[in-house]
Amino acid sequence: MHRRDFLAGSGGSLLYALHPSPLLALSPSSAKEKRGLCIALDPHCSSEIHIAVQRLVESAPTHPLLSIMAAKRRIMLQETTQLLSHSDQLAYNHVILIGHPDDPLLIAASQREARVTTDGMYVFGFGAFQGNCGYIESDRNPFLHAARIASAPYETELITITGTSDRGILLALETFEQRHLINGVVAADGWRRTETTLLDRDPLPSGFPPPAFAPARLADYTRIGIIQAAEDEYRGVLADAGVLPQIIWRAKYYRQGAWDGKGAAAAFDAYSNGLHRRAYGSTLWLAQFADTSQASTAAPKIAAAASLSQKKIHLWTGAQPAYANGTYPGERSSSGSLSLTQQGMWIIMSTLEGPALSELASTTGDPA
């Protein structure tokens, strides 16, 4: 599928953009000059969750993602029911929604890749579970990309944090605050699978170790979150390299101005640099194999699949394809650079630009 086709139809929340409702009756003139961060909490959540959300707000000055979203402005904290009647806040600010899966605003923002209830959870690429499970998903803000908004003045992101129970929501909140997970599934001890599918991947446990080789800063990039890869991504590596990695992470980075472009001309760059699980801009892809020998065998095969050329030992470089395969007049022939390095049992792919690659090589000890 072409990236343009995927972006045009990604996320179940697109239904709300294509079929305007009073919630989306916005005009460009209502846009705020400066976007900020709005955190909305389901009023039916427990007092423990309310306390955890307040702690999350207090962590904003030092949290790598929240500090960027808030941009030194006061964080708006309100109930999801209140935010339903404030469509300008929904569209023109970064938004974090926290609550039970039946909350109307969480339902409106859902990408439809997960089905979460108090009885259990199914997430594409992870499978079906019961127990105290938490779920985090991120995307470009669907309320900004609504049919009634003629041109977005900038990009905004939306993060949904939910779970099968209060304990599951608390676990997801803690994981977002302390581990900076922006897409993935977490579960407390005692979870179990309710069915088996071809694309099953276990949820993360609480207190999981952070990925290796993902520095907090690289050149002018700041790491703002990590993404748990789904099983379909593991199978893609298996198809290319003939071996299944033990674990795959993606570390998401941010560079000043990445979400500041206006209108359609900036939409694809803004998406690629955004928080969606499939957005690969400004990202380190990190795959750990069983041992160094297995990684050494897999690296050139993955590089070949990505059309990369070997530059030095353990280093391949090249370019990403155009967003729409270069078929649209005026679009760039590539959506950015792409490089691959090997460090021991790890393979690292990077879409970071400029000096970040050489700085990463220095950090990992790679001879690049």
Q: pLDDT category, 367, cuts 50, 70, 90?
A: very low
The reported pTM is 0.89
Please check whether residue 352 is in contact with residue 345, taking contact to mean a CB–CB distance below 8 angstroms: no
Per-residue pLDDT tens for 63-100? 999 999 999 899 999 999 999 888 889 999 999 999 99
Residue 190 scores a pLDDT above 60: yes
Predicted local distance difference test score (pLDDT) of residue 25: 33
Give the H/E segment covering residue 122: strand 120-123
Buried b (16+ CB within 10 A) or exposed e, 165-182: bbbbbbbbbbbbbebbbb
For the ranges 4-8, 137-141, 350-354, 356-360, the maximum mean pLDDT occurs at 137-141
Residue 18 scores a pLDDT above 90: no
Residue 288 scores a pLDDT above 50: yes
Segment 183-200 shows an average pLDDT of: 96
Residue 8 scores a pLDDT above 50: no
3-state SS of 141-166?
CCCCCCCCCCCCCCCCEEEEEEECCH
DSSP letter at 185 equals E
Give the H/E segment covering residue 254: strand 247-255
CA distances from 222 to 86, 213, 225 (A): 31, 14, 9
Q: If you average pLDDT over every residue of the chain, what do you get? A: 88
Residue 24 scores a pLDDT above 50: no
Question: Which residues neighbour 256 within 8 Å (Cβ) at sequence distance 6 or greater?
Answer: 220
Predicted local distance difference test score (pLDDT) of residue 366: 52
Segment 15-24 shows an average pLDDT of: 36
Predicted local distance difference test score (pLDDT) of residue 329: 65
Q: pLDDT category, 330, cuts 50, 70, 90?
A: low
Residue type at 215 in one-letter notation: P
* The CATH number of the domain covering residues in 11-19+36-205: 3.30.379
The CATH 3.30.379 domain(s) of the chain lie at 11-19+36-205
Residue 365 scores a pLDDT above 70: no
Residue type at 109 in one-letter notation: A
Please check whether residue 276 is in contact with residue 352, taking contact to mean a CB–CB distance below 8 angstroms: no
Please check whether residue 160 is in contact with residue 110, taking contact to mean a CB–CB distance below 8 angstroms: yes
* Residues in a beta bridge with 251: 226, 284
Q: Report the SS3 class of residue 271.
A: helix
d(Cα 194, Cα 174) in Å, to the nearest integer? 25
Predicted local distance difference test score (pLDDT) of residue 326: 62
Which conformational region is residue 204 in: left (phi greater than 0), alpha (psi within -120 to 50 degrees), or beta?
beta
Segment 337-360 shows an average pLDDT of: 87
Predicted local distance difference test score (pLDDT) of residue 6: 37
Q: Report the SS3 class of residue 179.
A: helix
